[in-house]
Amino acid sequence: MKVENNSLNSVSANQADRIRQAEKAPNAENSQQVSGSKDRAELSEQARTLTKAKDAFKSSPAADTERVNRIKEQVENGTYTVPIEKLAEAMLSRLRDV
C-alpha cells in the first residue's frame, strides 16, 4: 500500500525538531504571561476582600423594616428631622477609630 501526500505540506524532521525546540524554549511572550500571574494574585486578593465583605453583610443584623418604612414615610412627607446629637456622636466615634 502506498501513502500519498495528497497536497498536504510536508514538514521535514529537521523542521519538526526546530518547532518542538521553539515551543519548549521560553520566549518574551511566555515570560510576559508568567509576569502576568501577579495580576492574578491581585485579583485573588480582591476576591478574598469581596468574600469578607459578603460574609460581614450576611452576619449583620437584618434591617428593622418597620423603622425603615417609618423614616421613609417621614422623608417623603418632609417631616423627618436629623437627630443632630446622634449624628455628631457617630461622627466623633468614627474620627476616634481612625
Domains of the chain, residue spans: 11-60, 63-98
Residues with Cβ < 8 Å from 19, sequence gap 6 or more?
Answer: 11
DSSP secondary-structure letter at 62?
A: P
Tens of each residue's pLDDT in the chain, 98 residues: 555 555 555 556 666 677 777 667 665 555 555 555 556 456 688 888 898 999 888 888 888 889 999 999 999 999 999 999 999 999 999 998 87
CB environment 49-87: b (16+ within 10 A), e (fewer)? eeeeeeeeeeeeeeeeeeeeeeeeeeeeeeeeeeeeeee
Distance CA 45, CA 80 (A): 42
Separation CA 18–CA 24 (nearest Å): 10
Cell output for 54: 459578603
Reported pTM: 0.33
Spatial CA neighbour of 80 closest among 71, 89, 88: 71
